[in-house]
Amino acid sequence: MADHKLAVIVLAAGEGTRMKSARPKVLHTVAGIPMLGHVLATARALDPAHVVTVVRHARDAVAAAISELDPDVVIADQDDIPGTGRAVEIALAALPEGFDGDVVVVSGDVPLLDADTLRDLVSAHRAAHGAATVLSAILDDATGYGRIVRAGDGSLDRIVEQKDAAAEELEVREINSGSYVFSVVGLREQLPRIGTKNAQGEKYLTDVIALLRGAGSPVAAQPVREPWLVEGVNDRVQLAAVAKRLNQLIVRGWQRAGVTIVDPDTTWIDRDVVLAEDVEILPGTQLKRATRIDSGAVIGPDTTLESVEVGAGARVSRTDATHSVIGAGASVGPFAYLRPGTYLGADGKIGTFVETKNSTIGAGSKVPHLSYIGDAEVGEGSNIGAGTITANYDGVNKNRTVVGSHARTASHNVFVAPVRIGDGAYTGAGAVIRKDVPAGALAISVAPQRNMVGWVEEHRPGSAAAKAAAEATGEAGETE
């Protein structure tokens, strides 16, 4: 049930120059989801009445992502006045005029911060009837962060940014995480009083703390239980560190849910992946986006699945697959490549060095090795011989090949689409099939073999082959 006295403001206006990327910083992905997506999901988990995200840099790209991630988020545009204080001021203007509750402020580049931590912060804020409560953290190295400066009695006095801090303030190890809860009344009163006389020429949201305290309003700082929860991302090094931390949490969660993960250090699982009990994940495996794996399936080693459904008891080894379905009890790999639109039925097989695309391979059917099956449909219980190619492209259009049920096609076949091989039909080795094959028929296209005796001696005289042939011919003659 929505908390009608709670709003969340997400700050996502920064440029993120240290990422050195054409992509906006908050849209870089962690566990398959943009950083901003993690933050919006956490915000929504608080059940607030309103969520407002402030944007500026790469505005259209960020706004489009927000609309896809959470269409109900209100988007507010920051103007030319820089700083987090101005960003929050813009966001408050986007809230309903009569809103008189509490406002949570979080940053779009802090993807590990969870809803439980914010709930605890809101609860502490409300229990103390606070005007502002800051989420802080104790770090061994606080370089780069704003410092929490406490009064002699231990209460929060002010927050000092790194560039504005005095020498003794730089020794402080308690830092501002950039996440807050404010009473909206006090926040609205104090934001217009913030100036830009500081090292960065910005309106600091942190200046509100000192203003509220000066006005006699209660302010507090609450340290987070684990400092990594508030780790922000400013460059690619920090992005990798945050991604690794989140992956460790995801992997551990699945292990505790009954999934065997042989080597957690080389297994990467995106947040949206769903695994059933008794799935086994072998080393070097990546499970990405909307992948779903049913009970008893074994995945890996050295396998990447992106948005793939895997049925119960299937086995997928050393395979790269995207937007595909692998049926229960099926076998894939090693060294298979399943492109989008592949559907492998129950107990089917896609074997070694096989590439498939936009194709359905029916229950119990097999494509064992060294084949390309594209834009094709194979019925049930059929076997596709080694080295088969569906020639699906005529230079203009893609055409389909249809192989019926219980068909047996031989090695080194080429099916020139559009073509249909009927139920129970056979094809001969090396056949190029250009016409439909009726059910139960045998199709061959190879000319009768012709041996041109003496060709090597005539056309390659003096060669090693000619000498070997002459010796073999002589020995055969002596034997005769």
State the amino acid at position 185 in one-letter form. V
DSSP letter (8 states) at residue 398? B
Question: Residue 469 class from Cβ within 10 Å (0-12 exposed, 13-18 middle, 19+ buried)?
Answer: middle
Query: What's the gap between Cα 438 and its chain centre?
Result: 46
Check the CA dihedral 468-474-478-480 and report its sign: positive
Quote the CA–CA distance of 113 and 20 in Å, as a whole number: 24
The string of DSSP codes covering 281-326 is E-SS-EEETT-EE-TT-EE-SS-EEES-EE-TT-EE-SEEEES-EE
Q: Which helix (H) or strand (E) holds 259?
A: none
Quote the CA–CA distance of 220 and 139 in Å, as a whole number: 18
Q: Which helix (H) or strand (E) holds 232?
A: none
- Cα–Cα distances in Å, from 251 out to 198, 319, 341, 347, 456? 44, 20, 28, 29, 64
Residue 4 annotated to the active site:
no
Quote the CA–CA distance of 469 and 449 in Å, as a whole number: 20
When computed from its CA atoms, the radius of gyration of the chain, rounded to whole angstroms, is 33
Quote the CA–CA distance of 5 and 3 in Å, as a whole number: 5
| Cα 405-408-411 angle, rounded to 5 deg | 140
Contacts of 121 (CB under 8 A, 6+ apart): 104, 133, 135, 179, 181, 222
Q: Are 397 and 381 in contact (CB under 8 A)?
A: no
Check the CA dihedral 322-323-324-325 and report its sign: positive
Q: Are 307 and 325 in contact (CB under 8 A)?
A: no
Q: Are 30 and 268 in contact (CB under 8 A)?
A: no
Q: Which of 28, 38, 50, 369 is catalytic?
A: 369
For the beta carbon of residue 162, count every other beta carbon within 10 angstroms.
Answer: 15
- Residues taking part in catalysis: 369
